[in-house]
Structure 1
Amino acid sequence: MDIGVPKEIKDQEYRVGLSPSSVRALCERGHRVSVQTNAGAGAGFEDADYERAGAAIASAADVWDRELVVKVKEPLPEEYDRLQPQQLLFTFLHLAADRGLTAALMASGVTAVAYETVELPSGKLPLLMPMSVIAGRLAVQFGAHFLERAQGGRGVLLGGVPGVAPGQVVVLGGGTVGTEAARIALGLGARVQILDVNIERLSELETLFGSRAELLYSTSAQLEAVLPAADLVVGAVLAPGKRPPTLLTRDRVRLMPPGTAIVDVAVDQGGCVENLRLTSHSHPTYREDDVLHCGVPNLPGAVPRTATQALNNSTLPYVLRLAQHGYEALKLDLALGKGLNVREGRLVHPAVKETFPDL
Structure 2
Amino acid sequence: MALLRKIIHIDMDAFYASVEQMDNPDLKGKPLAVGGSEVRGVVSAASYEARKFGVRSAISGIQAKKLCPDLIFVRPRFDRYKEISKKIRTIFHEYTDLVEPLSLDEAYLDVTENKKGNPSATLIAQEIRSRIFEEVGLTASAGISVNKFIAKIASDYNKPNGQKTVNPSEVEAFLERLDIKKFYGVGKVTADKMYQLGIFTGYDLKQKSQEYLEKHFGNSGFYYYQICRGIHNSVVKPNRKIKSVGAERTFGANLSSEIFMEERLQSIAKELEKRLLKDKISGKTITLKIKYSDFTLQTRSKTLPYFVSDSNLIFDVAKDLLYQERIRNSVRLLGISVHNLNNEEKVKADLHQKSVSVQLKFDF
TM-score relative to the length of structure 1: 0.25
Please state which structure has a larger fraction of its residues in helix: 1
Please state which structure has a larger fraction of its residues in strand: 2
By relative contact order (CA 8 Å, sep 6+), the higher-ranking structure is 1
Higher-Rg structure is 2
